[in-house]
Amino acid sequence: MNTPMVTTTRGPVRGERRNDGSIRFLGIPYARPPVGDLRFAAPVPPEPWSEPLDATAYGPTAQRRPFAEVTTIPEPSVPGAGVLNLNVFTPDTAPEAGLPVLVWIHGGGYVAGSAASPWYDGASFNRDGVVLVSLGYRLGIEGFLHLQDAPDNRGVLDWIAALEWVRDNIARFGGDPAKVTVAGQSAGGGAVQTLLAVPAARGLFRGALSVSGAVMRPDGPEVARAAARLFTARTGVPATAAALRDLGDDELLDLQERMGAPGPDRAGLPPLLSLAPFADGRLIPEPVLAALTDGEAGADVPLMLGFTAHEFNGVPAPAPEPVGPPVPVLIGALGLDAARIDAFTAAYAAGDRDRLFGQALTDATFRAPSLAVADARAARERPTWLYQFAWESPVAGMAFHCLDLPYAFDLLDAEGVAAAAGDAPPRALADAMHRAWVAFVRDQDPGDPWPPYTAGDRATMIWDTVPRVERDPLRQVRELWLD
Catalytic residue annotation: 186, 311, 401
Going through 186-286 in order, the beta strands assigned E by DSSP cover: 207-211
Residue 40 φ/ψ region, left for φ over 0, alpha for ψ in the -120 to 50 degree band, beta for the rest: alpha
Which helix or strand (DSSP H or E) is residue 5 part of? strand 5-7
Tell how strand 303-308 and strand 207-211 pair up. parallel
| CA distance to 361, 436, 462, 468, per residue, from 433 (Å) | 26, 5, 10, 11
The rounded distance, in Å, linking the Cα atoms of 442 and 344 is 40
Question: Which residues, other chains included, contact 406 with Cβ-Cβ below 8 Å and sequence gap of 6+?
Answer: 119, 412, 414, 417, 420, 421, 425, 430
Q: Give me the phi and psi of 194, to 5 degrees please.
A: -65, -45
The rounded distance, in Å, linking the Cα atoms of 189 and 352 is 29
The rounded distance, in Å, linking the Cα atoms of 115 and 63 is 10
Angle formed at CA 404 by CA 185 and CA 276, multiple of 5 degrees:
20
Going through 157-256 in order, the beta strands assigned E by DSSP cover: 175-185, 207-211
Is the four-CA dihedral 268, 272, 276, 279 of positive or negative sign? Answer: negative
Which residues on neighbouring strands pair with residue 132, listed in sequence order? 89, 102
Question: Which residues, other chains included, contact 290 with Cβ-Cβ below 8 Å and sequence gap of 6+?
Answer: none
Question: With contact defined as beta carbons under 8 Å apart, do 141 and 244 qualify?
Answer: yes
Question: Which residues, other chains included, contact 21 with Cβ-Cβ below 8 Å and sequence gap of 6+?
Answer: 91, 92, 126, 127
